[in-house]
Structure 1
């Protein structure tokens, strides 16, 4: 994400990174299936299409929240996704979570919010923008929660290659739907002019690998609630890495106040506690 953020700071559109990350996901999954000459069964293409559509819908609502709302408000609200997955899991997959996992989910949610809050919300934000940001962000979190649970519900848990075949169908649909982003996507010439090619290629490639690792876990092993709790640590690692590389990347992390850093430390403690609870249930 840091490389993609650098490309955006140079003037690249955020839609460009999302489009190319989805293309990477689709091409990687389809290439593996093509080499093995095995694809998802026809009866799973309907659920796969719905799952891929939820993935793209979540991305779309995310960027609308950033474009028409306030990023510093939207980012911590995404932390509610951990609880949404836990709340929706009995409805989608019929699994009921233990009290221990619920406590871990609450701790992870609070931890993510503390880590992601910047304390620099715009002073000119209107009431309408606040509610628009909240609505769009919760909508994005809802779509991506269902995306996780659909992978758990229809992913083949007994066969690693069958799970991969299912993901190929999901991301083929996502890649096709991403063509709707093209009006917002920068041309290759524009990217070269901005001198952002290296950051964009590296960033989108790493984003695709990160996404593929999580969704494969969901499709292959299920247990969406606990996987989301573990995955929430990504925010902590991102903050720590950005802070450690602040001078090299020339970002704002090195200028954060002591209060913000203490707030993030508190979030890190809560996330660690959530991970221990989820892993030792």
Structure 2
């Protein structure tokens, strides 16, 4: 039985780990994930989804703040693993660790060489791509630059956002890994090099990218909103206070960018640099996330056509 070390952190990774465990073909001898973090307003310490799966299966868990040079890495190198599987782990793997096993492969949520980096799903949505996918690749020192073992794609629908695509791509990545891994280990599936000249990058989202610029087109703003839902969430300002927008829809309309051009009991439509945006799910400052109907029946009653969002 092939001995594996699995490394990952979010739900995407947990889905891949569960697939390996359910297959009963591989011996997961250790799981490495990010340290527990304080989350939410109450700053409650929360385990990663991968840690939850690992503990449910009585697997040893390692959580180094930084893998390179850590005592955890030194111990991992003594376990006798045949290979390492990573999926959205969140740290670079040192060359010493990669060289200590027969193979190390990663499940990456893009069609490489497009969108190397930590936020490929966000960028695929924000850029309005019509498809995305998963690549199984060999790990090398350079970020997401290894030879490709397998690829699979799926269409991006208008109703998709980061959350829905994470779920779809996690299943796609799990199945593609389980399909391709046996042949790769046996040596009958040879990895193919990427065309590095075609590489594009998707670095982690920066706070300034979350802010909506109403001068942009309605379609571009629609893509930005869904490309940040459910995290980190796009925002604008209303009366000088941050106003988050979780869901919106590009519609026809004309007016000054950021100006409310339609208000009813069920609709709030804001003009953009081209077209308009109908807000669907929002979160005013200091309030919970809510459907636009609830906002209009409560906190948004005082808004009028002609009022504006923005700085």
Same-fold call, TM cutoff 0.5:
no
- Pick 1 or 2: higher relative contact order, CA cutoff 8 A, min separation 6: 1
Name whichever structure is richer in strand by fraction.
2
Name whichever structure is richer in helix by fraction.
1
- Alignment TM-score, normalising by the size of structure 1: 0.24
- Alignment TM-score, normalising by the size of structure 2: 0.22
